[in-house]
């Protein structure tokens, strides 16, 4: 019985570390980390994914030895959790960029007066931001970002087995890089709509100066919504695909 326990214990420790990595990734990654999903459902999804990735990686074992066995296990659990959080967070930046771009568009179009509760992040948001966020989520489902997340987990278990010492500097650099990229992505998403809104304002000003008898300033708000809404209608599919490609690249880029 003791020999069986000696064989099974390192394998069990290895699975627990994989579960830490997978649970951390699922808590932050798009689709898996939505607050609208119950916690029990997220845990129920993380356990079979962890076991499938653990079995696919060849049941990697972790056996802390010596008097520092418990401390080594706790340290490995912390590293595994941090690794999963960084991977999920870098992919989640794409959703946040889409929402931030929607916030900027709402302000430019004059639709930021009212706000709604964001079911994904649990915070106040505008209608345009919610729309862009949902478009991005739909594009991620169509592009298979959830499959890329599972594939990343399987690849990471082969390249970085559970309990392997890992430098934290690359993780911090990845978070900073993707955060800066998310800011640039939000600007890229909002830029076409902002240009259309500015063009509408300029056209309205030119017409009002040329033919002041029309009193066209009274319909300025309608022109802003018309130009911004038309640009958003044409650019929404491209914005959603851009967010989906960015989230997939976070998992395929070796985070």
Which two structure tokens, joined as six digits, stand for 86? 């960084």
pLDDT-above-70 percentage for the chain: 84
Asked if residue 48 has pLDDT above 60, the reply is: yes
Place of tokens 């069990």: 12
Contacts of 44 (CB under 8 A, 6+ apart): none
- Identify whether the C-beta of residue 80 lies closer than 8 Å to the C-beta of residue 168: no
* Dist. CA 127–CA 4, nearest whole Å: 59
The predicted pLDDT at position 40 comes to 77
The predicted pLDDT at position 180 comes to 92
Asked if residue 10 has pLDDT above 70, the reply is: yes
Domain that holds residue 214: 2-252
Give the chain as a DSSP string: -HHHHHHHHHHHHHHHHHHHHHHHHHHHSTTTT-TTS-HHHHHHHHHHHHHHHHHHTT-------STTHHHHHHHHHHHHHHHHHHHHHHHHHHHHHHHHHHHHHHHHHT--SS-EE-TTTSSEE-HHHHHHHHHHHHHHHHHTHHHHHHHHHHHHHHHS-TT----SHHHHHHHHHHHHHHHHHHHHHHHHHHHHHHHHHHHHHHHHHH-GGG-GGGGHHHHHHHHHHHHHHHHHHHHHHHHHHHHHHHHHTT-
Pairing of strands 124-125, 116-117: antiparallel
**Whole-number mean pLDDT of the chain?**
81
* Dist. CA 88–CA 182, nearest whole Å: 14
pTM: 0.79
Among 166-175, 201-210, 245-254, the minimum mean pLDDT is found in: 201-210
- Identify whether the C-beta of residue 194 lies closer than 8 Å to the C-beta of residue 104: yes
Domain count, the chain: 1
- Higher-pLDDT residue of 46 and 166 is 46
Asked if residue 8 has pLDDT above 60, the reply is: no
Q: What is the pLDDT of residues 59-87, one digit of tens each?
A: 887 776 554 567 778 888 888 889 989 98
| 213-235 mean pLDDT | 75
Asked if residue 151 has pLDDT above 50, the reply is: yes
Asked if residue 157 has pLDDT above 80, the reply is: yes
pLDDT-above-90 percentage for the chain: 4
The predicted pLDDT at position 4 comes to 46
Asked if residue 212 has pLDDT above 50, the reply is: yes
Among 69-73, 156-160, 171-175, 185-189, the minimum mean pLDDT is found in: 69-73
The predicted pLDDT at position 2 comes to 47
């Amino acid at each position: 019985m003791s020999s069986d326990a000696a064989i099974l214990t390192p394998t069990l420790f290895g699975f627990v570390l994989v579960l830490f990595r997978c649970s951390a990734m699922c808590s932050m990654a798009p689709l898996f980390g939505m607050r609208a999903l119950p916690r029990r459902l997220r845990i129920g999804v993380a356990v079979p994914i962890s076991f499938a990735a653990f079995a696919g990686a060849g049941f990697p074992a972790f056996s802390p030895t010596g008097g520092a066995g418990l401390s080594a296990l706790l340290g490995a659990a912390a590293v595994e959790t941090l690794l999963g959080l960084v991977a999920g967070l870098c992919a989640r930046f794409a959703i946040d960029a889409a929402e931030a771009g929607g916030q900027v568009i709402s302000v430019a179009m004059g639709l930021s007066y009212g706000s709604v509760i964001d079911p994904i992040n649990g915070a106040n948001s505008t209608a345009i931001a919610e729309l862009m966020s949902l478009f991005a989520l739909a594009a991620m489902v169509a592009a298979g970002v959830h499959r890329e997340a599972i594939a990343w987990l399987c690849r990471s278990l082969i390249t970085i087995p559970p309990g392997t010492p890992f430098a934290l500097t690359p993780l911090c650099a990845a978070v900073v890089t993707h955060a800066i990229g998310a800011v640039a992505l939000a600007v890229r998403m909002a830029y076409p709509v902002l240009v259309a809104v500015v063009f509408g304002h300029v056209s309205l000003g030119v017409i009002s100066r040329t033919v002041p008898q029309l009193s066209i300033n009274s319909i300025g708000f309608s022109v802003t919504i018309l130009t911004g809404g038309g640009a958003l209608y044409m650019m929404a599919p491209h914005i959603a695909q851009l967010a989906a490609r960015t989230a997939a690249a976070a998992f395929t880029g070796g985070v």
